[in-house]
């Protein structure tokens, strides 16, 4: 446990309902003003159904849950990429009321530690070009590598790809 009282644990399929609950509290608050309600609804359905989360876990996505006592405060997921030594952070979400408390920093630093333990030398992520979270990632030592536009159903994800070299 750290000074803020946070711990993490590796998620299993039993934790999927808690992951979905965190998403319900963070998803629309985070994205509706950026991409609109329709795309939010579509992407939530694609990424956060029980079946989708189970499939992600089976396909090698590691989910780490942020806890304070017995309360689930957030989560992150990441996996190896096709590039040697590079891992991709797919998701990192903190309950809105805990954003700005150090919770995100603690969770991301935990992910970086696990990635290093798994032999990773770089962590990358995509962030929407209009998402203010870009500032958080930059404070955490990440930098924009390039822009990418990814089709998702009838919509587009207009992202920055950000990365950070990890010290071994």
Domain count, the chain: 1
Domain that holds residue 77: 6-165
Residue 140 lies in a domain: yes
Q: What is the CATH number of the domain that holds 116?
A: 3.40.630.30
Residue 1 lies in a domain: no
- pLDDT (tens digit per residue) in 23-60: 999 988 888 888 888 988 888 888 899 999 999 999 99
CA distance 77 to 80: 11
pLDDT, residue 4, reads 77
Q: How confident is the model at residue 1 (pLDDT cuts 50, 70, 90)?
A: low
Residue 77 lies in a domain: yes
CB 62 within 8 A of CB 117: no
| Average pLDDT value for residue range 122-141 | 96
Lowest mean pLDDT among 21-30, 90-99, 108-117: 21-30
pLDDT tops 70 at residue 2: no
| Average pLDDT value for residue range 59-67 | 97
pLDDT, residue 138, reads 98
Residue 76 lies in a domain: yes
pLDDT, residue 31, reads 82
| Average pLDDT value for residue range 122-131 | 96
Q: How does DSSP assign 81-135, residue by residue?
A: -SSTTEEEEEEEEE-GGGTTTTHHHHHHHHHHHHHHHTT--EEEEEEETT-THHH
pLDDT tops 80 at residue 106: yes
Residue 143 lies in a domain: yes
pLDDT, residue 29, reads 86
């Amino acid at each position: 446990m750290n000074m803020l009282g946070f711990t993490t644990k590796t998620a299993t399929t039993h934790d999927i309902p808690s992951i979905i609950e965190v998403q319900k509290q963070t998803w629309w608050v985070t994205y509706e003003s950026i991409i609109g309600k329709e795309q939010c609804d579509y992407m939530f359905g694609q990424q956060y159904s029980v079946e989708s989360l189970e499939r992600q876990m089976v396909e090698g996505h590691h989910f780490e849950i942020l806890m304070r006592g017995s309360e689930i405060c957030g989560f992150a997921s990441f996996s190896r990429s096709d590039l040697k030594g590079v891992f991709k952070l797919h998701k990192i979400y903190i309950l809105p009321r805990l954003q700005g408390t150090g919770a995100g920093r603690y969770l991301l630093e935990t992910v970086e530690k696990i990635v290093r333990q798994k032999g990773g030398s770089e962590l990358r992520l995509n962030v929407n070009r209009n998402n203010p979270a870009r500032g958080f990632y930059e404070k955490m030592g990440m930098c924009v590598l390039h822009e990418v536009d990814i089709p998702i159903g009838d919509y587009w994800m207009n992202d920055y790809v950000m990365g950070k070299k990890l010290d071994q």
